[in-house]
Amino acid sequence: MNRRPNYDNPTECRIRNKTLSVSLYTIPDNEIQAAAALLRAGETVAFPTETVYGLGADATNPRAVRKIFEIKGRPIYHPLIVHIAAASQLPVWTQKIPDAAWRLATAFWPGPLTLILQRSSQVPNEVTGGQDTVGLRVPDHPIATALLRAFGGGIAAPSANRFGQVSPTTAQHVHDKLGSKVSMLLDGGPCRIGVESTIVSLTDEEAVLLRPGGLSIEAIEDTLNKKILLAQAAAPKVRVSGMLDSHYAPTTPIEIHPTEKLWHRAHQLAKLGYKVAVLKLSDDNKCINSDEIKIFQMPLLANEYGRNFYATLHHIDHANFDRLLAEAPPTTHEWVALHDRMRRAAHSGALLK
Ligand code: TXA
Ligand code: MG
C-alpha cells in the first residue's frame, strides 16, 4: 500500500510547473481514498501541507495516535495538532470558541496558523498530552484538503520527522527519515512555505504566541487589533515541543555568525581540516568555493529563504559536512520565524540573539 515515488525515474514525477519555484502535484482520487481508508483502519499516512509534511493518524483513535509517537520517537506528553477541513468543524473539537478564534480562523484558514483552544470531550488524551487544550489547524494544500474531506474527521499530525530533527519539506525527506514505518506517503512536491505554522494560544484572556511560523505576528495583531503576548512573557502553562532549545536540529553542528565574522570563521575551520558549508545571504564575494568550503547562496527574501531552509539543511546533512555556518539574517519582522528555527537548530542556543 506504500506510495513511494521513484525519484530517479522522471516518468514518476508529477506535473511540474517550471515557471514557479514550487511544483504543482496532483494525486489521483483512488490514492486519496486509499489513504483515507488507511486512516480509518488506524494506520498512519504522511501527507503534504503548505508548511511541512505531516505524519497523520485518526485524531479520535488513541491506538493510531500512539503509532505517531512510536514512529517519531517523540515523548508522549508532547501534544499534536489536529488538522481539520474547515473552521466549521471547530465546535467538534473545542468546547469554547472565543471571538478571537473565529476572527483569526476567518482571516487565515486555510493557512499556516494553529490555534490552541479548550478541548472538547471528543479529543483523546493521547492527542493533547493530557492537557485540557487542543491545537487546531486547517492546512492550505490541495492534497491535505482532499485527504481531510475523504477521511471526514480530524487528522492528528506532527511534522513527519524523527523527534528533534529537521522537519521534512519534500516527500523524499519523509521517505529518507521514516521510510517503511509509515503506511502511506502522499507526494505533494516541495512545501510552499517550508516553515511550520504559527501557534497562538487563545485559552486565556490574552492571545499568546507559542511559536512564530509561516504567518506573521503583525498579520495576527492587525486582525485582533491588539498586541499578542510572547510565550516567554506569559507564564507558560502549556508544553510545546517546538519550544525546546535543541529542536529542529540537523546532525551537522550549526553556528550563526554576522556577515563580518562569517568568512574568518569559515577559514579558521577549514585550516583545521573541517569541511564547511556556508549559508550565505550577503552578496560580498570575499569567500569563494574551495575544497574545504562550499557556499550555499540563500534567497534574500524571507519567504523564499524559508521555503529552502530545511531542504538545504537536509542536503547538507546528507553531504557529510563537519560544520554549517549560517550568515545571520536581517532582524526585520519577516525573519522572526527563521531566526527562531536557526537559533534552535544551532547546537548552542546562545549563538543568535
Ligand atoms: O505547520 C505545522 O504546524 C506542521 C504541519 C504538519 O501542520 N505541524 C507541526 O506539528 O509542526 P509539530 O507536532 O511538529 O509541532 C506542533 C507544535 C508542537 O510543538 C506541540 O507541542 C504544539 O504544536 N502543540 C500542539 N498542541 C498543543 C497544545 N494543546 N498546547 C500547546 N502546544 C501544542
Ligand atoms: Mg515538529
Q: Is position 195 within any domain?
A: yes
Q: How confident is the model at residue 164 (pLDDT cuts 50, 70, 90)?
A: confident
> CA-CA distance, 346 to 353, in Å (whole number)?
12
If asked whether residues 268 and 329 sit together in one domain, one would say yes
If asked whether residues 227 and 121 sit together in one domain, one would say yes
Instruction: Say yes or no: CB of residue 165 within 6 Å of ligand 1.
Output: no
Instruction: Say yes or no: CB of residue 131 within 6 Å of ligand 1.
Output: yes
N-terminal to C-terminal alpha carbon distance within the chain: 47
| Domain limits for position 299 | 254-345
If asked whether residues 265 and 136 sit together in one domain, one would say no
**Range 145-162 average pLDDT:** 98
If asked whether residues 62 and 190 sit together in one domain, one would say yes
> CA-CA distance, 266 to 283, in Å (whole number)?
16
**Range 126-152 average pLDDT:** 97
331: DSSP letter = -
**Range 6-16 average pLDDT:** 33
- Best residue for ligand 1 mutational test, from 71, 145, 147, 240 (most atoms within 8 Å of Cβ): 240
Summarised one tens digit per residue, pLDDT across range 55-84 is 999 999 999 999 999 999 999 999 999 999
If asked whether residues 103 and 197 sit together in one domain, one would say yes
Mean pLDDT, the chain, whole residue set: 88
- pLDDT > 90: percent of the chain: 76
Instruction: Say yes or no: CB of residue 135 within 6 Å of ligand 1.
Output: yes
Instruction: Say yes or no: CB of residue 168 within 6 Å of ligand 1.
Output: no
**pLDDT at residue 221, rounded to an integer:** 97
Lowest mean per-residue pLDDT among 251-255, 269-273, 320-324, 328-332: 251-255
If asked whether residues 104 and 31 sit together in one domain, one would say yes
If asked whether residues 66 and 183 sit together in one domain, one would say yes
State the CATH number of the domain containing residue 16. 3.90.870.10
Summarised one tens digit per residue, pLDDT across range 286-341 is 777 888 999 999 999 999 999 999 999 999 988 989 999 999 999 999 999 999 99
If asked whether residues 38 and 179 sit together in one domain, one would say yes
Residue of higher predicted confidence among 270 and 234: 270
If asked whether residues 70 and 218 sit together in one domain, one would say yes
If asked whether residues 69 and 217 sit together in one domain, one would say yes
Q: Is position 153 within any domain?
A: yes
Phi/psi region, residue 290 (left: phi>0; alpha: psi -120 to 50; beta: rest), is beta
190 cis-preceded (ω within 30 degrees of 0): no
CA of 75: how far to CAs of 44, 71, 241, in Å? 18, 11, 9
Q: How confident is the model at residue 25 (pLDDT cuts 50, 70, 90)?
A: confident
How does strand 198-201 pair with strand 208-211?
Answer: antiparallel
> CA-CA distance, 103 to 40, in Å (whole number)?
32
At 201 the three-state DSSP class reads strand
Residue nearest (by alpha carbon) to ligand 1 atom 15: 158
At 159 the three-state DSSP class reads strand
CB distance 262 to 325 below 8 Å: yes
Place of cell 487589533: 225
Q: How confident is the model at residue 179 (pLDDT cuts 50, 70, 90)?
A: confident
**pLDDT at residue 208, rounded to an integer:** 97
> CA-CA distance, 59 to 176, in Å (whole number)?
25
> CA-CA distance, 214 to 192, in Å (whole number)?
10
CB-count burial class (<10 Å; 0-12, 13-18, 19+) for 274: middle
Q: Is position 324 within any domain?
A: yes
Domain count, the chain: 2
CB distance 252 to 298 below 8 Å: no
Q: Per-residue pLDDT for 16 more than 80?
A: no
The rounded Å distance from CA 81 to ligand 1 centre is 5
The rounded Å distance from CA 282 to ligand 1 centre is 33
State the CATH number of the domain containing residue 311. 3.40.50.11030
- Best residue for ligand 1 mutational test, from 125, 163, 186, 196 (most atoms within 8 Å of Cβ): 196
